[in-house]
């Protein structure tokens, strides 16, 4: 993927747990998931708006 092996991923996970704490990780994951979902929704709505605008100009 990015050239990261299992040892590197474990080290990154340990650093994240130390920085944020184990109780806060589910909140961070949920926030990240919502952000990605809203980003995808925004991109799709922008594409649909541009398609609608181009169809309006042709008429």
d(CA 1, CA 32): 20
- The full set of domain ranges for the chain reads 6-58
Q: Over the stretch 1-19, which tens digit does the pLDDT of each residue have?
A: 568 888 998 999 899 889 9
Q: Would you list the DSSP string of 1-59?
A: --S--HHHHHHHHHHHHHHH-TTTHHHHHHHHHHHHHHHHHHHHHHHHHHHHHHHHHH-
Q: How many residues are listed for the chain in this entry?
A: 59
- In the predicted model, what is the mean pLDDT of residues 39-44? 90
Determine what percent of the chain is predicted with pLDDT higher than 90. Answer: 31
Write down the mean pLDDT value for the chain.
82
Cβ contact 17:25 at 8 Å: yes
């Amino acid at each position: 993927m990015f050239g990261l092996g299992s040892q590197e991923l474990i080290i990154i996970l340990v650093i994240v747990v130390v920085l944020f704490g184990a109780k806060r990780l589910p909140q961070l994951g949920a926030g990240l998931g919502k952000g990605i979902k809203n980003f995808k929704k925004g991109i799709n709505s922008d594409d649909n708006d541009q398609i609608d605008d181009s169809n309006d100009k042709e008429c």
